[in-house]
Structure 1
Amino acid sequence: MIAENAQALLPQDLISLSGVLKVCDMETVVLGAHLRRATIDSEVVGESIFCNIETDFSFRGRFTIPADWCVIGCLQHTTKASGCNGTPVSSGTAFTILPNGISEFVFGAGSHVVLMLVPLRKIQLKFARLVHPDVEIPARMLALFSLSSTQQGTTLSAHYEKVHQHLIHDQRSVRSDPVIEKEIDMLLENHLLAGLSAQADDRPQCSRGRRAHYQIVQRAEQYMRGNMRRVIYLDELCAAAGVSERALRYAFDDLLGLSPNRYLSMLRLCTAFRALSVADASRRSVKSVALSCGLWDLSRFADHYRHTFGELPRDTLMRAPPGEFTSSLGAHEMACG
């Protein structure tokens, strides 16, 4: 999907990112009062998928990468509110996500991210040529690193922007262009070299206090997701997280800028949106989806939903599901088998 005019896009496009990049199972939770706009540009190049994301609102997401894929990318711009698996990140931070469980992130309003989904074997082959065929990829070294203080980092940052310009702004077909495929291959090599050469000071660090807050939020959210159909009280979340109410509120405010109850409300709404956006209107109703998310007051749910997503729940249900993007994703879906 090429987004040439951000104003023309529905804000839900960000929450439906997993419909565009089906290789990942992604969930997002909006953290602001309402959505404004987001642009999501993506292009399939050979076996890889390049994606550019810009958003005017803050959100939290989590996703799982299949065993035969990985993600590399760069935060072109972000805010102090952003983080990855609890670790604070800033503009100019590159990342490598290997298929080792659920990855979580928070992006502040005004964030701009470029990323690429790449078959894992391509990473493994490139690493073997650069280092040694018998050495395992050092996931922790490549996870997060800054691009600002080294020549290789500066080169990599410029390379991401160059590929982005090729794919998003050039008025020509690039899917089978050997030039852009070579650029993608060079980008992958530069990414690995920059990550391997980064020093300790170039790697974002997570303080003990922030790590504790991250674990508190994780435990509380796990309880929320496991009991979403019913009313959830604050003392239950405290018990699930193993902390006092004050500590729970402080952890949520520190990591997400929201109270636990406000985050639960947004989690319910975004889960309902995700379910409605992929549901078969002949088999599911707005009421059944709302109740499955613990949204018992249907009138209030509709008002909050429209305020957040700019449309009524029934409009989302009746719209075609994200499967319409299938034609642009045939290459990487076949690669997934």
Structure 2
Amino acid sequence: MRKTSPKPDLDAYLRLNNASFEEWITALRVLSGCDDIKCRPHSGGGSIGSLSALDSARGRVISLKASKGIDVSGFRSTESVLLLPREGVPEIAIRGGLWRPLDRLLVLVPQDRFELRLAPGTKVMILRPDVGALGDWIAQSSDQCLTVLEAIIDCYLERLPFVRGDEQARQLTNRFFDTLATPWTPRKAAVCSERNLDRRLQRVVEKIMQDPAWEFDLKELASYAGVSERNLYYLMKRETGITPYRFYQRARLTRVRERLVDCQCEVPHISWYAADEGFSHLGRFAAMYREHFGELPSETVQWRRNLLRRSVASAEELVET
């Protein structure tokens, strides 16, 4: 049985998509806390990429995806950070050194100011504890240690798509960073490395996520998976912690969020986007949206609007200087 995970990333916490250069650099500064970050596109014009972020009391997880080539410099942190390539092979230069492939997990300490070179389609995840939590792992600095860390991160990312809502997502993230704060041992990875999504559930997940036009039908879904309705319900509940319908609902809400993040119109048609995904009652939709993402649909739109204002103001300051 192969180890798989449905969109094992921060799709539900998308903050910016199809971003312009000004938006990209402004959002990256806001999300990373590094005001002196600089970006240099490899070619002019067009969208730079997307950004997602999930905050918790213990730390922040950021996902960067480039839609065109770009160099990003000026990264720094008061705490150690983890860099994990998710798609493609990005490059990294540390302390002004030579560029080298970032082809596996890398642990960086605060003094390791670094630059990233992202080719089109490259995705990198930045995991930053809020409190010094990686000291024991840094001291080990071995292949075995990195393998354990990668397994723990994979386990966290595999569970994230199946959370019941925003509160559980943040609790899961807190537990993840708490795990990093405890002394390392190879045994930590044992459960995660053996955890596989049942192939029948994998079919269900792919059906729900890859067929936006499909309307929920438990009988059809069970037939597609090759099990009875009752078995599918309890199998998914046992393996993921949520029911098939709950996962279907979260997938629809995530698709609405993607459209809201992309919305740059003066009056966002939130009710239209909701109706397109089968949410007919705007009040109930808004309540479910906040439960899943920790903010109202209007706040998702407002975040990008605020970012646009900030990026315009920054550009004007550069022109004046």
TM-score by length of 2: 0.45
TM-score by length of 1: 0.44
